Amino acid sequence: MKKIIAFLLIANVVFAQKIAKIDSGAINGAAFRIVFPENWKGKLLMYAHGYEFMGSPLQSKNPEWISKMKPFTDRGFAVAASDYRNQGLALVQGVDDTEALRQYFVNKYGKPDSTFIAGHSMGGGITIATLENFGKNYVGGLPMCPLSGRIYLQTRKEFDLIATFNAFFPGNMPTLSEILDKTQSTKPVSMNVAFGKAMALKKVIFAKDSLLAADIADRFDLKPDDLPFALAFGENVLRDIAIKGGGNPYDNTNTLYGGFRDNLLVNQKVERLSSTISQDKLFGKYDRTGNIDKPTLVLHTIYDQLIPAEMAIVRYENLIQEKGKQEFYTVKYTNGQGHCNFTPEQTGKTFDALRNWAKTGVKAKAGYID
């Protein structure tokens, strides 16, 4: 389960990598780091990190971050990454702060001969939003295990998971009313606290009814062992949203839940809430449109406990089809078991395919990558 947490930021394999130069500082309160490999060839990769638990070490202070960028620096790319102005759900800030950093790079080092953008998890969503809104500055993007669909719908998954879990296992998780109370005294927690809550929750629910827990997990495309952390992670995300948005953007008063052994029971017992704020207040700016016009190559694992493929791929693909932009979108998948669980070789191969697509204009083929 600790790997789940590591994957929220970037892949978890460490390398030694010779870096010729490091530039760091802050723009509008967002710290950044830029690394230049010895073989820098005038190319730039803007990197967007994923969701960070409150109090997590900043990316710019992580001594392993440079080595984790090896699939890009090995190919002669400088890599520039912002910490964003706040942790937690930071989609809007991630887009704005990444664009501010790109402008800083151009002003200081000149316009690169090619610029790509890549990111994991929430950073994959930032990658897509950047291509939709600032695509003129890029030749292509690599969203990995991305938060790519409309943000309201993707975070609604966390809401529905907790709502239905509480219907079957009352008293083991806070109610949604408490979690989404803007005046709440309990703020989003640190990574270690969330991990501890998940471990305690796992013992309780599997001792009470392991078969029922497995059914709930299956309904949300989870392995049973991943259900507790998904609940703890979801609670953290919803608390973050309530605080930043000033209320609850979700409404399930008219929702009919299905996919359970007893759909009538869950609908009779589930907690019902009305929204108190518009979803646009927090999710409106840079919400997904599907309006891309640069090569966009998505990389996803066959199993992802935080962003299932249906959410990362199908929902965004529907938006692309509405805009008639299928020519700019391709998906590759791996046999990885876990959120953003890619090998460096898989990342490198996919990035090479994206670069070739951008260079030749021949669309990369979708499908499995080993």
CATH 3.40.50.1820 range(s) for the chain read 2-149+288-368
DSSP designation for 311: I
Residues 6+ apart with CB under 8 A from 195: 1, 2, 5, 229, 232
Tell me the longest C-alpha to C-alpha distance in the chain.
63
Q: Which of 14-18, 129-133, 289-293 has the lowest mean pLDDT?
A: 14-18
**Residue 352, pLDDT score:** 98
Say if residue 77 is exposed, middle or buried (CB neighbours under 10 Å; 0-12, 13-18, 19+).
Answer: buried
For the cut 50, the answer to whether the pLDDT of residue 11 exceeds it is no
Confidence of residue 10 (pLDDT cuts 50, 70, 90): very low
Q: Look at residue 8 in the predicted model and tell me its pLDDT.
A: 47
C-alpha to C-alpha distance for 238 and 182, rounded to whole angstroms = 11
Q: Indicate if the pLDDT at residue 12 is higher than 70.
A: no
Q: Which residues lie across from 329 on neighbouring strands?
A: 296
pTM of the model: 0.92
pLDDT tens sequence across 212-229: 999 999 999 999 999 999
Q: What share of the chain has pLDDT > 70, as a percent?
A: 94
CATH code assigned to 2-149+288-368 = 3.40.50.1820
Query: d(Cα 28, Cα 104) in Å, to the nearest integer?
Result: 12
Q: Which helix (H) or strand (E) element contains residue 344?
A: helix 344-360
Q: Which of 204, 135, 153 is nearest to 310 (CA)?
A: 153
List the Cα angle 111/114/116 in 5-degree steps: 110
The predicted structure's pLDDT at residue 192: 79
